[in-house]
Chains A and B, each alone.
Chain A
Amino acid sequence: MNRNYELMFIVRPDMVDEDLNKLISTLESSVTSAGGTAKSEVWGKRRLAYRVGKFNDGIFVLMLIEAAGAVVHEVERRLRVTEPVIKFLTVRTDEELKRLDKIKKLRDSKKKASAQPAAVAAPVTPATPEAATETPASAPV
Chain B
Amino acid sequence: MAEETKAPTAHAGASGGESRPERSGGDRPERSGPPRGPRPGGGPGGPREGGRKFFRRKKVCKFCVEKIEAVNYKDVRLLAQFVAESGKITPRRLTGVCTPHQRRLSRAIKQARNIALLPFAGRAQ
A contact set with B: CB distance below 8 Å? 8, 10, 47-52, 56, 58, 62, 87-89, 91, 96, 99-100, 103, 107
Q: How many residue pairs between the two chains, A and B, have CB atoms under 8 Å in the bound complex?
A: 43
A49 to B80 CA separation, bound complex (whole angstroms): 12
Main DSSP-derived SS at the A contact region: strand
Main DSSP-derived SS at the B contact region: loop
CB neighbours of B111 from chain A (8 A): 89, 91
A50 touches B116 (CB 8 A): yes
Q: How many residues of B contact A (CB 8 A)?
A: 17
Known: A8-B115, A91-B111. A47 touches B124 (CB 8 A): yes
Chain A residue at minimum C-beta to C-beta distance from B107: A91
B115 touches A50 (CB 8 A): no
Known: A49-B125, A50-B120. A89 touches B70 (CB 8 A): no
A48 to B73 CA separation, bound complex (whole angstroms): 14
CB neighbours of B115 from chain A (8 A): 8, 10, 87-89
Shortest CB distance A58–B (Å): 7
Q: Is residue B84 within 8 Å, beta carbon to beta carbon, of the partner chain? A: no
Chain A residue at minimum C-beta to C-beta distance from B76: A49
